């Protein structure tokens, strides 16, 4: 008996498939009669049916798997569901569920949704990029899996992060999914458990370091520029040393940014602006204390300093208002163990060993957690901040939820409801003495999709810090009085496409004004941007 390869149909293309929504004429035209149940459903009916099915699942990882399967077979329906139910769906396709999905990646992997490029592929990266079926790639999210959320080195299993980010580019800003490409650079892993795991999907050797790593990155960047010359390259979840090095090496050469450094900084600045609206105070009058001095913390500090300078402070005076505590204690000038990116925030002051002691001494108006240390903001720390400040600003930004420095309940309870709180992962509303508090989520999704949409719409060839400051200011202007009354310092996620379009307009305006694009500025920029937005409706 001989077998033959089945003739492909639109049912096998996630971009073209509409499933039971194909009407009778389409079923005849595409030879689908008999291949589908006879009843025709519209897209909204399909979405409602799938949502009912999804809500029956008992675990978030199961829901994640079902959503990824839906994306594999009917991409437009997947995005319809995501856009219409973003507040429910986003925690499933991204944080916090994506963290567990990455941990389980070797078991739940189904179909490829991006490219894996290994250290052994040196000399062949251009060919591998050519294997991707789409040519007009405008956004690439790339990771090497070394610092996945707060979970650490997950190697090739970190692919869940760029896949999730790409989904948010399309859902939250309308960058077309066929113009987006997730990539994992598999240079090995130093995670001993993964190296011993029989189901680990990546290269089974320790991480490549040094010149071999740098050469791989250089070839990769060159290949991207050749294959996709108009693409925005987003570096995601690299380890601290590589993250800063890559941003420094490429930010002024190609269209690139690091979301963990610049995107996190922008959304945190936006949160601070919202908090200060509640307090009626200026940014230049704050003293900030960070727990954690990695790429997120230093990136936030740098952007805040730039904003303080724009309010009239000198660079030196602005930096003196930002203090950092790392794993060894307060970052001060007398320490000789500081890597380069910490040194600009190393102030002349006595060394302090603990975070709580630093609060006693420095009396900050805000504490910002980017440490990945669950519970690091203890009840005594929250009470101390509330003793020093009438309205303490407490940002517990580490992801996923299991790494958050404190919970929303803890922040409100131990501050007697006076804290202005934001977290990296979502927390439900908190009821305290008959008052409901709605915590803000300082999620990068408020920033990077709009940045990307603006870059794509303007065909810009650079990303600048001014764009991230502008994004933060846009977010701040969109926080309503109703939001502030609820204690929420970010706009509702239900408005995320509106937020993204406004950010895109601001970013594109900068690109045209600063001559960062060769394209002529459209007569109606907002109309031009809105005209590029992807709509998944059949």
- The DSSP 8-state label assigned to residue 152 in this structure reads B
**What is the distance between the alpha carbons of residues 113 and 181, in angstroms, rounded to a whole number?**
8
Q: Where are the alpha helices (DSSP H) in 233-354?
A: 240-250, 264-279, 295-310, 315-319, 340-343
| Given 79, 94, 412, 414, the catalytic residue | 94
- Look up 165 and say whether it is catalytic: yes
For residue 467, the surrounding DSSP H or E stretch is helix 465-477
Q: Where are the alpha helices (DSSP H) in 311-464?
A: 315-319, 340-343, 355-362, 379-388, 408-414, 448-458
**What is the distance between the alpha carbons of residues 511 and 457, in angstroms, rounded to a whole number?**
10
**Non-local CB neighbours of 146 within 8 Å, separated by 6+ positions:** 152, 153, 158, 207, 237, 238, 239, 242
**Non-local CB neighbours of 479 within 8 Å, separated by 6+ positions:** 274, 277, 488, 489, 490, 491
- Look up 213 and say whether it is catalytic: no
SS3 at position 322? strand
- The DSSP 8-state label assigned to residue 7 in this structure reads P
Cβ burial, residue 198 (10 Å; 0-12/13-18/19+): exposed
The radius of gyration of the chain's CA atoms, rounded to the nearest angstrom, is: 24
Let me know: does 186 contact 156? Beta carbons within 8 Å.
Answer: yes
**What is the distance between the alpha carbons of residues 233 and 129, in angstroms, rounded to a whole number?**
14
Single out the residue of 335, 331, 333 nearest to residue 362, CA to CA: 331
Phi, psi angles (nearest 5°) of residue 101: -60, -40
Cβ burial, residue 413 (10 Å; 0-12/13-18/19+): middle
Please, how many CA atoms are within 13 Å of residue 251, restricted to the half-sphere of its CB?
15
Single out the residue of 290, 448, 445, 425 nearest to residue 370, CA to CA: 290
Single out the residue of 505, 417, 404, 395 nearest to residue 460, CA to CA: 505
Rounded to an integer, what is the distance from CA 111 to the centroid of its chain? Answer: 23
| Given 18, 63, 105, 165, the catalytic residue | 165
Let me know: does 529 contact 504? Beta carbons within 8 Å.
Answer: yes
**Furthest C-alpha separation in the chain:** 83
**What is the distance between the alpha carbons of residues 322 and 77, in angstroms, rounded to a whole number?**
46
Let me know: does 533 contact 501? Beta carbons within 8 Å.
Answer: yes
- List % helix, strand, coil for the chain (3-state, nearest 5): 50, 10, 40
Q: Would you name the residues annotated as active-site residues?
A: 94, 165
């Amino acid at each position: 008996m001989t077998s033959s390869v089945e003739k492909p149909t639109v049912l096998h293309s996630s971009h073209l498939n509409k499933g039971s929504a194909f009407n009778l004429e389409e079923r005849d035209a595409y030879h689908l009669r008999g291949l589908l149940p006879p009843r025709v459903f519209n897209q909204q009916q399909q979405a409602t049916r799938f949502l009912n099915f999804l809500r029956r699942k008992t675990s978030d990882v199961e829901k994640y798997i079902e959503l990824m399967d839906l994306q594999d077979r009917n991409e437009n329906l997947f995005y319809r569901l995501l856009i219409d139910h973003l507040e429910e769906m986003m925690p499933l396709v991204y944080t916090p569920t994506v963290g567990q999905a990455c941990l389980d990646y070797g078991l739940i992997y189904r179909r490829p949704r991006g490219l894996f490029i290994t250290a052994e592929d040196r000399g062949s990266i251009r060919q591998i990029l050519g294997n991707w079926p789409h040519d007009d790639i405008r956004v690439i999210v790339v990771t090497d899996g070394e610092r996945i959320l707060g979970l650490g080195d997950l190697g090739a299993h970190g692919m869940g992060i760029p896949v999730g980010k790409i989904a948010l580019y399309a859902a939250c800003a309308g960058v077309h999914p066929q113009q987006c490409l997730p990539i994992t650079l598999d240079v090995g892993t130093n995670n001993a458990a993964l190296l011993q795991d029989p189901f680990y999907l990546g290269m089974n050797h320790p991480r490549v370091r040094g010149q071999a790593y740098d050469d791989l990155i250089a070839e990769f960047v060159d290949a991207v520029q050749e294959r996709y010359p108009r693409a925005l390259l987003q570096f995601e979840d690299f380890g601290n040393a590589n993250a800063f090095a890559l941003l420094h090496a490429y930010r002024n050469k190609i269209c690139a940014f690091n979301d963990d450094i610049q995107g996190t900084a922008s959304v945190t600045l936006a949160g601070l602006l919202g908090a200060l609206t509640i307090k009626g105070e200026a940014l230049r009058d704050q003293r900030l204390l960070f727990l954690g001095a990695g790429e997120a913390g230093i990136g936030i500090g740098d952007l805040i300093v730039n904003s303080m300078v724009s309010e009239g402070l000198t660079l030196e005076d602005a930096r003196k208002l930002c203090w950092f505590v790392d794993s060894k204690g307060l970052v001060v000038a007398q320490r000789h163990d500081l890597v380069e990116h910490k040194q600009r925030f190393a102030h002349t002051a006595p060394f302090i060993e603990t975070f709580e002691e630093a609060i006693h001494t420095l009396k900050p108006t805000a504490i910002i957690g980017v440490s990945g240390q669950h519970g690091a903001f203890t009840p005594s720390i929250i009470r101390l901040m509330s003793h020093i400040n009438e309205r303490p600003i407490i940002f517990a930004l580490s992801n996923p939820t299991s790494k958050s420095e404190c919970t929303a309940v803890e922040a409100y309870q131990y501050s007697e409801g006076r804290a202005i709180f934001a977290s990296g992962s979502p927390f439900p509303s908190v009821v305290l003495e008959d008052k409901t508090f709605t915590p803000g989520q300082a999620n990068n999704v408020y920033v990077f999709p709009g940045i990307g949409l603006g870059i794509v719409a303007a065909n810009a060839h650079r990303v600048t810090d001014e764009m991230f400051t502008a994004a933060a200011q846009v977010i701040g202007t969109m926080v309503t009085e109703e939001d502030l009354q609820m204690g929420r310092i970010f706009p509702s996620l239900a408005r995320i496409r509106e937020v993204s379009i406004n950010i895109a307009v601001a970013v594109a305006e900068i690109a045209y004004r600063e001559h960062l694009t060769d394209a002529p500025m459209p007569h109606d920029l907002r109309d031009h941007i809105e005209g590029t937005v992807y709509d998944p409706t059949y």
